[in-house]
Amino acid sequence: MWVEWLIAASVILFDQLSKHAVETHMHLWQSIVVIKHVVNLTYAKNTGMGFSVFQSDPKVVEYVVLSIIVALVIFSLTWKERKNWFFQLSMGLTIGGALSNAISRLAYGAVTDFIQLPYWPIFNVADSCVVAGAIGLGIYFLKRERKVGKS
C-alpha cells in the first residue's frame, strides 16, 4: 500500500515543481512552441475544475474536489485487493494528481495550466496523472470483472 502513496507524493512534487517553473519563468498567456503544431507551453490559470467547469463558483469547486479526494482515499484504504501493483499505480496517480491540484487551488485560488495540444484545453501534469490513473482504474476493473466472471 505504501507504493501508491509514494507515487502520489512523487506526482505532487513533480506537478508543484513544474507549476512553479512556469509561474516564475513565464508571464500569463505567454506561449512557447515546443513541437510546432503539436505541443506548446502556454501559461494559464484555471479557477474552475476540468475544462474550466464552475469557474464562477469557487466554493462549489472546493467542495466537489475535496469530496472526491476523500472518497478516493477511503476507497483506496478499504479496497480488499489493494496489494495489486496496477491498482496501486492507478490510485497513486489519481490521488496524487487530485491532491496536487487541490493544493494549488486552496493555496493560490487557481490551478496553473501550461500544456497545450491542438483542439484540447490547456492542462498540467496533475491533470494528466488523474486521467492516466482513471484510465488505469478502468482497465483494472474491466480485467477484474472478466477474471471474476470466468470463475
Q: Please name which of 109, 127, 125 lies closest in space to residue 57, comparing C-alpha atoms.
A: 109
Residue 113 a catalytic site member: yes
Per DSSP, the residues of 47-77 read -SSGGGTTTT-HHHHHHHHHHHHHHHHHHHH
d(CA 17, CA 25) in angstroms, rounded, equals: 12
Q: Which of 127, 130, 133, 137 is catalytic?
A: 127
User: What cell does 78 get?
Assistant: 478499504
Q: Which of 7, 19, 93, 113 is catalytic?
A: 113
d(CA 62, CA 116) in angstroms, rounded, equals: 25
Residue 15 a catalytic site member: no
Q: Please name which of 104, 91, 76 lies closest in space to residue 130, comparing C-alpha atoms.
A: 91
Q: Which residues are catalytic?
A: 113, 127
